[in-house]
Amino acid sequence: MFVVRREGESRDEGTRRRRRPEEAERAILAAARSFLSEHPFREMKVESVMARTGLSRPAFYAYFKDRYELVTRLLEGIGGLLFAVDRRWLVGDPGMGREESAAVLRDALRGGAETFERYGSVLRAISDAASYDERVEEVYRFGLIERLTVAVAARIARDVEAGVSPPDLVPQETARALVFMTERYLIDAYGRPQGRRARDEILQTLERVWINTLYGGSC
């Protein structure tokens, strides 16, 4: 007799299935992503993630310390993306002048928005988890958001220095305000299963706030 088994299919009663550790870990991460695309972080119990893997709840703890470590692992890679898409503007030379600076910034914002469009549910989960757990807060708020803020502040400082942006701008504070706005606004737009709003209006609005603040008149 031959018994054909497909991936994830349960076996005859009373038998287990054994995977390579790396494979199980990836399965758990995938299960978490899948769960978060349907439910908010507050509903993510270890049990409900493991139900999507065919493994038991205790197996989870062989791979992750707790669900906070799990979401932290989901952030890996995504965080880097946010820097990557912004790099051209972040490290750019303000010598290019207002018009070109604004154009490059526009590209960076478009890239950021695309990242949120793709990974919105995970980013929303991390942002939520940051208020649940000190270590997630460390990684997200201080490791990612704050690092982005510092990079943006440095660029703003150079713009002020070059006379492209008005001199009464406080780079560190302005950067913080703009980064916070972008984070919250994009999570709101793309972080929920249901309500995805008009892409053009979202980008147009972000561009307007950033560009008028940095490259508008001193009014």
Q: Specify the residue for token string 């349907």.
A: 38
Q: Which does 133 bind (CB under 5 to 8 A by kind): its own copies, DNA, none?
A: its own copies
* Structural tokens at position 90: 């972040």
- Say if residues 144 and 218 touch (Cβ distance below 8 Å): no
DSSP string, 150-162: HHHHHHHHHHHHT
Work out how close the CB of 64 gets to its own copies at its nearest, in angstroms, rounded to a whole number: 19
59: burial class by Cβ within 10 Å (0-12, 13-18, 19+)?
Answer: middle
> Residue 22 corresponds to which amino acid?
E
Residue owning tokens 């949120």: 116
Using the rule CB under 7 A, is 4 a contact of DNA?
no
Binding window for DNA (CB under 7 A); candidates: 17-25, 72-80, 97-105, 149-157: 17-25
Q: How far apart are CA 165 and CA 168, in angstroms?
A: 9
Number of residues that bind its own copies (CB under 8 A): 39
Q: Using CB distances below 5 to 8 A depending on partner kind, what does residue 169 bind out of DNA, its own copies, none?
A: its own copies
Examine residue 185 and tell whether it contacts its own copies (CB under 8 A).
Answer: yes
Q: Which does 212 bind (CB under 5 to 8 A by kind): DNA, its own copies, none?
A: its own copies
Q: Output the smallest distance, CB 191 to DNA, in A.
A: 21
CB atoms inside a 10 Å sphere around CB 56: 11
- Considering only residues 13, 15, 167, 194, which one is a binding residue for DNA as defined by CB under 7 A? 15
Q: Within 152-181, which residues bind DNA (CB under 7 A)?
A: none
Q: Is 198 left (phi over 0), alpha (psi -120 to 50) or beta?
A: beta
Binding footprint of its own copies on the chain (CB under 8 A) = 40-42, 102, 127-128, 131-134, 168-170, 173-174, 176-178, 180-181, 183-185, 188, 197, 201-202, 204-206, 208-209, 211-213, 215-217, 219
